[in-house]
Amino acid sequence: MPVICEFMGVKIYMYFFDHAPPHVHLVGPGFKAALAVPEGKVLAGILPSRIQSIAASWIRNESAALLENWRRAQAGEPLFRVNPPE
- Three-state DSSP string of the chain: CCEEEEECCEEEECCCCCCCCCEEEEEECCEEEEEECCCCCEEEEECCHHHHHHHHHHHHHCHHHHHHHHHHHHCCCCCCCCCCCC
- Answer whether residue 1 is part of any domain: no
- Answer whether residue 60 is part of any domain: yes
Question: What domain range is 68 assigned to?
Answer: 8-74
Q: How many domains does the chain have?
A: 1
Per-residue pLDDT of the chain (86 residues; tens, 9 = 90+): 799 999 999 999 999 999 999 999 999 999 999 999 999 999 999 999 999 999 999 999 999 999 999 999 999 999 999 999 98
Per-residue model confidence (pLDDT) at position 14: 97
Per-residue model confidence (pLDDT) at position 52: 97
- Answer whether residue 81 is part of any domain: no
With 0.85 as the threshold, say if the pTM is over it: yes
